[in-house]
């Protein structure tokens, strides 16, 4: 009697091949449907939420201060105006004490760059907060087009500069840096003279390292889009070597919050990574 060449349960080659092809087809179908969902649905669903953020050395009067963070709008033909409007409305509804715009208002290589800069500036011009609205610039914000558009719409741009706010009887220093400002001595020079609680506004979350060295307790960033496409096991596809792709990271006495932002780039799709318009509520760091 001839010996069976196939291990028990393996089936003849034709059956095995058919099962493999069926699995591949199922995987392709699932991938296509997930991508379609990410394009048609998820990238349009703005996540409105409040996040508690620990801040070392937080004065008691500033406990509970709420900061709205809106970043990476990427106004362009691939990001619908309705999405940007929804993000602005989400922040307005939340009613934060202070609003920070984290950069990348447009996509640099898209046609009609100047037109998009004017349009997005017009949208964020509707934002209001008791202690003001402040913006920093991202790597897509070619100067002077974007900052001029923001300034024309009464948005204060912190491009390698610092502003001191009087908040609830305390001083709060916002230190806003350009994307290319990364040397420790450069950031130290901008932060010099701060008398209140310092907060670093940096589009690039990799400035966490410099903030730690300078003793700055809070960094607010964007840039990563949260990876934009986040897959099981693999995680965020593109996070720009950030300390974290998205959310809160506490390292030593410095807290970093990285927003997933609103718009998209390269691929108009988000998977397991919806856009967000967070409000950050400051609280004392644990001892």
Tokens of 179: 């994307």
CA-based R_g, the chain, Å? 23
Can you spell out the DSSP letters for 61-99? GGTT-EEEEE----BBTTB-HHHHHHHHHHHHHH--SEE
- Cα dihedral 133/137/142/146 (nearest 10): 0
Overall average pLDDT of the 140-144 stretch: 88
DSSP state of 192: T
pLDDT digits over 210-227, tens only?
999 999 999 999 999 999
pLDDT digits over 91-135, tens only?
999 999 999 999 999 998 887 888 999 999 999 999 999 999 999
List, edge to edge, every strand of the sheet that includes 197-202: 161-167, 170-177, 197-202, 218-221, 254-258, 247-251
8 A C-beta contact, residue 273 and residue 225: yes
Residues 6+ apart with CB under 8 A from 271: 34, 35, 37, 38, 42, 228, 229, 230, 231
> For tokens 């502003």, what's the residue?
163
pLDDT at 38: 81
Q: Measuring CA to CA, how many Å separate 43 from each of 180, 239, 272?
A: 28, 17, 10
CA-CA distance, 277 to 226, in Å (whole number)?
13
Domain ranges of the chain: 45-284
8 A C-beta contact, residue 259 and residue 222: yes
- Choose among 200, 25, 202, 14: nearest CA to 102: 202
Fold of 45-284: Purple Acid Phosphatase; chain A, domain 2 (3.60.21)
235: pLDDT strictly greater than 80: yes
pLDDT digits over 239-272, tens only?
778 999 999 999 999 999 999 999 999 899 999 9
DSSP state of 142: -
8 A C-beta contact, residue 220 and residue 205: no
pLDDT digits over 162-208, tens only?
999 999 999 999 999 999 999 999 999 999 999 999 999 999 999 99
- Choose among 123, 132, 190: nearest CA to 156: 132
pLDDT digits over 3-47, tens only?
555 555 445 556 555 543 344 343 444 455 567 788 889 999 999
List, edge to edge, every strand of the sheet that includes 50-55: 50-55, 279-284, 66-70, 98-101, 133-135, 156-157
């Amino acid at each position: 009697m001839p010996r069976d060449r196939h291990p028990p349960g393996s089936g003849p080659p034709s059956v095995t091949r058919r099962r493999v092809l069926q699995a591949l087809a199922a995987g392709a179908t699932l991938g296509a449907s997930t991508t379609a969902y990410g394009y048609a649905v998820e990238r349009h669903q703005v996540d409105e939420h409040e996040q508690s953020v620990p801040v070392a050395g937080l004065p008691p009067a500033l406990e509970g201060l709420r900061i709205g963070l809106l970043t990476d709008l990427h106004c362009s033909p691939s990001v619908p105006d309705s999405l940007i409007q929804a993000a602005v409305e989400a922040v307005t509804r939340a009613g934060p004490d202070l609003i920070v715009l984290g950069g990348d208002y447009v996509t640099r290589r898209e046609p009609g760059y100047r037109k998009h800069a004017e349009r997005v500036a017009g949208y964020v011009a509707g934002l209001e907060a008791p202690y003001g609205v402040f913006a920093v610039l991202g790597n897509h914000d070619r100067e002077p087009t974007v900052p001029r558009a923001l300034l024309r719409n009464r948005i204060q741009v912190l491009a390698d500069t610092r502003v001191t706010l009087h908040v609830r009887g305390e001083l709060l220093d916002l230190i806003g840096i350009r994307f290319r400002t990364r040397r420790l001595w450069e950031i130290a020079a901008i932060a010099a003279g701060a008398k209140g609680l310092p907060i670093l506004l940096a589009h690039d979350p990799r400035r966490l390292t410099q903030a730690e060295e300078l003793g700055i307790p809070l960094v607010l960033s964007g840039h990563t889009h949260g990876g934009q496409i986040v897959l099981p096991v693999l995680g965020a596809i593109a996070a720009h070597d950030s300390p974290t792709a998205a959310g809160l990271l506490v390292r030593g006495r410095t807290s970093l919050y990285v927003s997933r932002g609103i718009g998209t780039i390269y691929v108009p799709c988000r998977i397991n990574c919806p856009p967000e318009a967070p409000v950050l509520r400051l609280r004392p760091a644990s001892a």
